[in-house]
Chain A
Amino acid sequence: MDKILRVNMTDLTTKLETVPANWAGLGGRGLTSTIVAAEVPATCHPLGENNKLVFAPGLLTGTAAANSGRLSAGAKSPLTGTIKESNAGGTAAQMLARLGIKALIIEGLPKGEAWYNLHVNKDGVSIQEEKELLGQGNFAVIEALEARLGKKTGILTIGPVGELKMTAANISVKDPDSKIRSHGRGGLGAVMGSKRIKFISIDDQGAPGIKIADPDKFKVAARTFAKALLDHPVSGEGLPTYGTNVLVNILNEAGGLPTRNFTTGQFAGADKISGETMNETITARGGKVKHGCHAGCIIQCSQVYNDKDGKYLTSGFEYETIWGLGADCCIDNLDDIAKADSIMDDIGIDSIETAVMFGVAMEAGILPWGDSKEMLRVLSEEIGKGTPLGRILGGGAGSVGKTYGVTRVPVVKNQAIPAYDPRSVKGIGITYATSTMGADHTAGYAIATNILNVGGFVDPLKKEGQVELSRNLQIATAAVDSTGMCIFVAFPALDIPECLPALIDMLNARFGIALTGDDVTNLGKHILKVERQFNIEAGFTNKHDRLPEFFSIETVAPHNAIWDFSDAEIDEFWNF
């Protein structure tokens, strides 16, 4: 029987609740956003007693469905002040799902100075005081907990950045190799830190497992779905070979690779940090070019990147991180970017927010353009140790921009704009402007259709069709984010006709229901509207659905593109 676990950090009590009927058909983002909207006062302080941190596995998580092992985390974001959902791979989602836990809700704030950990198992959740691991980095936490509780323990943890409640703090999730995946965006690590929880450990021994209503139908649909993932060139070949970093070269060629804090669209050092170069380097050093973030991932876009001596340096080394510290900061040393990726995992900070922040910090003169050694020092010695400068930087791109009087600050709703220039890839600009999450490329990945020729083609340099494209993608993404599926299933889903029906068939077979494609679309619309209503109640209006002014004033080379949507054109997004 599915259940809700509720933890009250004010009086240090826990409860096991049955799932209300209106939450039964929800999972992942649909459930975290519904719970946050229902239970968190929209005007509350995100780090105060009234915010809640909610974890929920997706509707298909824990089943044999390929790529279904994502965990959603939700709260009011201390970075944006909006509702937030951030999802990640790792082992925790499948463990929670097998334990029959539909959601874990953490509320209240402890009264004293003590820190705690939570332990989840088949009997529920318990709260313990934690002393040993305070101040430790995430890798040390994982190592210590595997020694304390066993190798198979699932772990959600925050590093020093989360303990210090910096608004770029993330929540780390242990992956199948005891490395780290992240609930990166929106400062959810600071929310966990505010509740004085250093980590959550999960033991799924004796878990009841998932009961499939129609196992035969599920098996057929799961096979069709997996075949579509393997047949599509992006999910079947490009991602496992080059990782997401395959995008450096194509965005650079198309003039959409934001460079030197978004002042130009191409980077002279692009080839040195590209997916092709990364693939050669990994192969030469005996790393792994493909690697899954959770059991059952058949796309395997992750990798193991070794240093020049063949020793492990990092994994889950993503395009956005490499672009941000690379092109946007004018750093062409992939080894130093890999070191930074590992440090960010360890201290527990969002690699997108932080990479964009460094571009703004370089423009502010805090460190020189392209100085990767100083960037590494600042990460470890300033941000990781919580110096006053480190706390300004750990507040993200908006924080450093405001403190140093920089006007070119690429954020929407105070969240950093990633990896794709909205002037030369206009569809993604609509997503940045309108997403309920602040600037977030994954919310409606218009790059697919603007740049990659997936799901058709809409010219990235023209305005026509972009609002509709972003709207359709954001609706579909909200639904997919509720299933526990990796967002990369969208590539085959956009091009292979059997893929999406197979996904819906799996949902129907799992629960013994009869959803149609329209039902799934309506779910996506409903989730977006619930999230937007929260934001409206928090004080956001259509005037916040805008890109920073500089995008409308400064053109970007090589196409001399500019952001030229009117307010009315952007607002048309919500017309559904």
Chain B
Amino acid sequence: MQITVKLFATFRNGRFKIELQEPPVDSDCRTIMLGLGLTEAEIGVVLVNGRHATLDHVLNNSDTLSLFPLVGGG
């Protein structure tokens, strides 16, 4: 299957802003995260198609996964 991965803030350092990936069917967010060399402790917010998800969330074809460290403002 094909998914779009978007990275933000410090996660972009040495990586990318946006990338198409072709992971095996039924991959979860954690698998994608680990493949990027990120650790669970670094993860702040996980969005799948703009909705909050957990790392256990299983991805579907053409999903967009957005990963953020903890960020804030206001």
Which positions in A face B, CB cutoff 8 Å? 232-235, 237-239, 241-247, 249-250, 253-255, 271, 275-276, 301, 318-319, 441-442, 445, 447-448, 451-454, 457, 459-461, 487-488, 491, 558-559
9 A-B pairs besides A254-B51, A275-B9 with CB distance below 8 A are A238-B69, A238-B73, A244-B74, A246-B9, A250-B8, A253-B50, A445-B74, A453-B52, A453-B70
For the complex, give the distance between the alpha carbons of A451 and B52 in Å.
Answer: 8
Given contacts A452-B45, A461-B51, whether A234 and B9 have CB atoms under 8 Å apart is no
- Checking A245, A488, A559 against B50 with a beta-carbon cut-off of 8 angstroms, the contacting residue is A559
CB distance from A283 to the nearest CB of B (A): 13
Q: What residues of B have a CB within 8 angstroms of the CB of A275 in the complex?
A: 9, 73
B74 touches A241 (CB 8 A): no
Q: For the complex formed, measure the closest distance between the CB of A127 and the CB atoms of chain B, giving whole angstroms.
A: 37
B74 lies within 8 A of A451 (CB): no
Count B interface residues, CB 8 Å: 20
Given contacts A242-B9, A451-B45, A452-B45, contact A559 B51 (CB under 8 A): yes
Q: How far is the CA of A368 from the CA of B21 in the complex (A)?
A: 40
Partner of A254, one of B10, B47, B70, B73: B47
- For residue B71, which residues in chain A have a CB less than 8 angstroms away from its CB? 233-234, 238, 242, 246-247, 250, 452
Q: Is the CB of B44 within 8 A of A233?
A: yes
CB of B72 within 8 A of chain A?
yes
Given A253-B66, A445-B74, do A276 and B8 touch, yes or no (CB 8 Å)?
Answer: yes
6 smallest A-B Cβ distances: which pairs? Answer: A244-B73, A234-B72, A233-B70, A238-B71, A247-B73, A246-B71
Is B52 in contact with A457, judged by CB distance below 8 angstroms?
Answer: yes
Contact (Cβ within 8 A) A245 B73? yes
Asked whether, in the complex, the Cβ of A453 is within 8 Å of the Cβ of B44, the reply is yes
Assess whether B12 is interfacial by the CB under 8 Å rule. yes
Q: Are B47 and A253 in contact (CB under 8 A)?
A: yes
Q: By the criterion CB–CB under 8 Å, are B47 and A452 in contact?
A: no
Are A247 and B70 neighbours in the complex by a CB distance under 8 Å? no
- B 29-63 to A, binary, CB cutoff 8 A, 1 in contact else 0: 00000000000000011010011100000000000
A34 CA / B50 CA spacing, docked (Å): 43
Contact across chains for A241 and B9 when beta carbons are under 8 A apart: yes
A181 to chain B, nearest CB (A): 15
| Chain A positions within 8 Å of B47 at CB level | 253-254
State whether B72 touches A491 (Cβ < 8 A).
yes
Q: Which residues of A contact B51 (CB under 8 A)?
A: 254, 461, 559
Contact present for B70 and A238 (CB under 8 Å)? yes
Is there contact, CB below 8 Å, between B9 and A487? no
Q: Are B73 and A558 in contact (CB under 8 A)?
A: no
> Which residue from chain B places its CB closest to the CB of A246 in the assembled complex?
B71
Identify 24 residue pairs between A and B in the complex whose beta-carbon atoms are under 8 Å apart, listed by A's number: A235-B72, A237-B10, A237-B69, A238-B9, A238-B70, A241-B10, A247-B72, A247-B74, A249-B8, A254-B51, A255-B50, A275-B9, A276-B9, A319-B74, A442-B74, A447-B72, A452-B44, A452-B70, A453-B44, A453-B45, A453-B52, A457-B52, A491-B72, A559-B50
Closest to A418 in B: B74
Closest chain B CB from A12 CB (angstroms): 41
CB neighbours of A243 from chain B (8 A): 73
Beta-carbon contact of A454 and B72 below 8 Å? yes
Chain B nearest CB, measured from A348 CB (Å): 23
Cα A246 to Cα B70 with chains together (Å) = 10
Which chain B residues border A457 with CB–CB below 8 Å? 52
Task: Tell me the minimal C-beta distance from A254 to chain B in angstroms.
Answer: 6
Minimum C-beta distance from A451 to chain B (A)? 7
**Which residue of chain B is the closest to A234 with respect to CB atoms?**
B72
When distances are taken between beta carbons in the complex, the residues of chain B under 8 Å from A241 are 9-10
Cβ–Cβ contact A253 & B73, under 8 A: no
CA distance A451 to B70 in the complex (A): 10
CA distance A461 to B70 in the complex (A): 20
Say which residue of B12, B66, B72 sits within 8 Å of A238 (CB atoms): B72
CA distance A241 to B10 in the complex (A): 9
Measured between C-beta atoms, what is the minimum distance from B7 to chain A in Å?
Answer: 10
Q: Which residues of A contact B10 (CB under 8 A)?
A: 237, 241
**Most interface-central of B9, B12, B74 (chain A CB within 10 A):** B74
Closest to A441 in B: B74
A558 to chain B, nearest CB (A): 6
Minimum C-beta distance from A474 to chain B (A):
14
CA distance A322 to B71 in the complex (A): 17
| A176 CB to nearest chain B CB (Å) | 21
**Which residues of chain B come closer than 8 Å to A271, judged between CB atoms?**
17
Residues in B whose Cβ lies below 8 Å from that of A452: 44-45, 70-72
CA distance A460 to B12 in the complex (A): 26
Most buried by A among B10, B12, B45, B72: B72
